[in-house]
Amino acid sequence: MTDAGTEQKSTRSRAPEAILIDLDLCKCCGICSELCPQDVFDVDDLAHPVVARLDDCTTCGLCERRCPDFAITIRRTPKAETRVDHAQPADDQAAGGAGGED
């Protein structure tokens, strides 16, 4: 069980790709900005939440889960995508080695 908790923690520590706010659904209640432990949101002149510090987001998901209007979506970078990126240079090296033998 400890491993599963560690895995969830590592997933949450990755910065999100984006935090999307559907302004048509948002009722400007302020719950997202009040609950955010990293103070990611600011509020504009019309009281809409604005993602001001995306790099500070830890993807805890409080804003997304607690939004009563379902107006917030956190777009997370998939783990598989990260692994492919790390594997890419090894594939390039293998192709380069084969090309050098011709």
For residue 75, list its beta bridge partners: 18
Per-residue pLDDT for 7 more than 50?
no
In tens, the pLDDT along 44-89 reads 999 999 999 999 999 999 999 999 999 999 998 876 554 545 555 5
Among 11-15, 22-26, 89-93, which range has the highest average pLDDT? 22-26
pLDDT the model gives residue 59: 93
Q: What is the pLDDT of residue 87?
A: 54
Compute the Cα dihedral for 62, 39, 75, 68 and give only its sign.
Answer: positive
CATH code 3.30.70.20 for 14-94: yes
| Predicted pLDDT of residue 12 | 47
Q: What is the pLDDT of residue 88?
A: 55
